[in-house]
Amino acid sequence: MRPYFEIVNGVKIPRVGFGVYKIKQDQNFDKTIIEAIQAGYRHFDTARIYGNEEALGNVIRNSGIAREEFFLTSKVWTTDLGYEETLRAFEKSCRKLNTSYLDMYLIHFAGPRFIESWKAIEKLYTEGKIKVIGTANFEIEHFEQLKKQTKIMPMINQIETHPGFQQQKLREYMSQHQILHEAWGPLGQGNKSLLENETLQKIANRHQKTVGQIILRWHLHRDTIVIPKSSNPRRIKENIDVFVFSLSEEEMGQIAALDSGKRYAVNPKGFQINPIYVGLTKLFLK
């Protein structure tokens, strides 16, 4: 298995990335990112709302590794949706990340005015400022709206996906429209019942791997990009060490049977601007 996917436009994206959601911008953040770089990660996923773009950019700049070797993703937050607003948000993210372009830029949620935002992202893409354009937490209905009102379909969709919530219907739609599947929360956000699942533990024991490694390998077999996150040096290394073994068809079937259709996080269909999100914006988007 190659360590990267090829996007519909020919751009290569590493199959395993490193998520930085909820990793605070402090000395431990720097140490964590350095650990990840040393472990071999070159694909890093952040967002304006995470409040750590600048810290990530600083570590990468000081890594001694050329910017071109990294694949950097950020996202436009819901309160920045709109044509001009998205253009400004993109420039702010680039400044904080210390880069003149982004490898990938996503709309974080399909909030109000996401169509206008997508048109701004299309403009940035045609200008060569973004290599891959996509979405996060989009459902079929959102893609159908984009099909009718914009020129370019998203190349990737980053969505909650794990063995307990496998997104099969949305996956089929995305496959039909050449939209790559990227999983956030690929390990179920540390859900205890998932990580202690008897079926997964038996498969892990058989391969002498951790349950986390089995889940990540399951994602890769499904042609899904993953962005696990951890501040634990051992787990950081384990999460990228998933290319040296394979799961059998029987094991893949056993994991497929674990799908409960239950989300562990917010449902995008009910996502709106509310006091919680406004509060987060005031806290992080300074």
88: Cβ–Cβ under 8 A, 6 or more apart, which residues? 80
Alpha helices by DSSP H, listed for the chain, are 27-39, 53-61, 83-97, 114-126, 140-149, 168-176, 192-195, 198-207, 211-221, 233-240, 249-256, 275-284
In terms of Cα–Cα distance, which of 183, 207, 202 is closest to 255?
A: 202
In terms of Cα–Cα distance, which of 134, 145, 142, 153 is closest to 110?
A: 142
Spatial distance between the Cα atoms of 215 and 203, rounded to a whole number of angstroms: 10
Using DSSP, state whether 152 is helix, strand or coil.
coil
Instruction: Report how far apart, in Å, the C-alpha atoms of 77 and of each of 117, 136, 172, 212 are.
Output: 10, 10, 27, 29
Secondary element (H or E) of residue 53: helix 53-61
Handedness of CA 126, 19, 48, 273 (dihedral sign): positive
Adjacent-strand bridge partners of 76? 107
Q: Which of 21, 41, 50, 264 is catalytic?
A: 50
Q: Establish whether 207 is an annotated binding residue.
A: no
Where does residue 172 rank: exposed (0-12), middle (13-18), buried (19+ CB within 10 A)? exposed
Residue 138 is encoded by which pair of tokens? 């989009």
To the query of whether residue 264 is one of the catalytic residues in this protein, the response is no
Residue 46 is encoded by which pair of tokens? 């952040």
Residues at the binding site for substrate are 108
Residues with catalytic roles: 50
